[in-house]
Amino acid sequence: MRSLSLEVIRGKAWKFGDNVDTDVILPGKYLILTDPHEIAKHAMEGIAPGFSSKISKGDVIVAGRNFGCGSSREHAPIALKYAGIGAVVAKSFARIFFRNSINVGLPVAECPEAFERVEEGDLVEVDLANGVFRDLTKGFELKITPYPEFLMDILKSGGLVQVLKKRFGRHG
For the beta sheet containing 132-135, the strands, ordered from the edge strand earlier in sequence to the opposite edge, are 108-110, 87-90, 60-63, 9-16, 123-127, 132-135, 140-143
Which of 95, 58, 59, 101 has its CA nearest to residue 76? 101
Shortest Cβ distance from residue 40 to another protein (Å)? 14
Residue among 48 and 132 whose Cβ is closer to another protein: 48
Residue among 1 and 4 whose Cβ is closer to another protein: 1
Can you list the positions of beta strands (E) in the chain?
9-16, 60-63, 87-90, 108-110, 123-127, 132-135, 140-143
In angstroms, rounded to a whole number, what is the distance separating the alpha carbons of residues 133 and 27?
30
Shortest Cβ distance from residue 52 to another protein (Å)? 16
| Contact set with another protein (CB under 8 A) | 18-19, 21, 23-24, 27-29, 31-32, 34, 46-47, 65-66, 69-75, 78, 92, 94-96, 99-100, 103-104, 148, 150, 159-161, 163-165, 167-170
Shortest Cβ distance from residue 90 to another protein (Å)? 11
Residue among 44 and 124 whose Cβ is closer to another protein: 44
